[in-house]
């Protein structure tokens, strides 16, 4: 069986999803937390200056705009409503067509994303994915989600490791294909049989030319 792996943000979606989710969650759960948005913006600058890691940045955002903990019931509702919004307004039609093409050819569809698992799974369900590999939010107890991330952020080399581990547990893939908009996914793009640079920026377009990866424009 062929396996078609897709990144989420700016590959399938027109814009990134994490900050919009934080704003969505704060607005529906505790609107006063929107006053903390400037702190989140400063945190993103800190990440850009390498004050802390991408994983830590996401934990800070969750802590500021969602809270230290949230019940899984409440998060399930937030994630489902957010996924509806994203699928209705934030997916490239060309990306949906490519998913349909891969599905028609019998490929197993895997969403591999740095986005958190709780809403990545909901988006994947609506788009017809067979499996999700995502950043896993910590579950500190029954019915609870923490602001902490369990294990690695599904990004860069860590995403490759997580995909390889997932594929090793299933039926051996006859062919692997990966679609991504980000040069940070170079380890996985380099590992698969067929790599697709989607909506590439200058850095990824240059890398695709060097590596011989196909270029697609879902936008």
Residue 106 lies in domain: 2-216
| CATH number assigned to the domain comprising residue 68 | 3.40.50.1000
Confidence band of 96 (pLDDT split at 50, 70, 90): very high
Q: Which of 61, 41, 38 is nearest to 153 (CA)?
A: 61
Indicate if the pLDDT at residue 212 is higher than 80.
yes
At residue 216, the pLDDT reads 97
Query: In this structure, what DSSP letter does residue 6 have?
Result: E
* Cβ 185 vs Cβ 7: under 8 Å: yes
As for how many domains the chain has, the answer is: 1
At residue 173, the pLDDT reads 80
Per the listing, tokens 């994490």 go with 18
Q: What is the pTM of this model?
A: 0.96
At residue 85, the pLDDT reads 98
At residue 54, the pLDDT reads 95
């Amino acid at each position: 069986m062929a396996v078609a792996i897709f990144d989420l943000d700016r590959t399938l979606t027109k814009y990134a999803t994490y900050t919009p989710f934080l704003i969505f969650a704060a607005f529906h759960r505790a609107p006063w937390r929107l006053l903390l948005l400037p702190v989140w913006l400063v945190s993103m600058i800190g990440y850009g200056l390498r004050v802390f890691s991408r994983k830590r940045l996401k934990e800070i955002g969750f802590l500021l705009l969602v809270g230290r903990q949230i019940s899984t019931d409440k998060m399930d509702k937030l994630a489902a409503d957010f996924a509806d919004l994203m699928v209705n307004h934030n997916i490239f039609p060309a990306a949906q067509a490519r998913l349909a093409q891969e599905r028609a050819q019998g490929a197993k569809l895997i969403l591999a994303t740095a986005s958190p698992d709780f809403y990545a799974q909901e988006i994947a369900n609506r788009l017809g994915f067979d499996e999700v590999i995502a950043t896993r939010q910590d579950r500190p107890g029954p019915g609870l989600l923490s602001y902490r991330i369990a294990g690695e952020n599904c990004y860069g080399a860590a995403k490759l490791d997580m995909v390889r581990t997932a594929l090793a547990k299933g039926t051996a893939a006859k062919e692997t294909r990966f679609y991504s908009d980000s040069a940070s996914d170079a380890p996985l793009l380099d590992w698969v049989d067929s790599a697709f640079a989607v909506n590439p920026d200058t850095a990824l377009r240059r890398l695709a030319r060097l590596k011989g990866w196909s270029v697609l424009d879902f936008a």
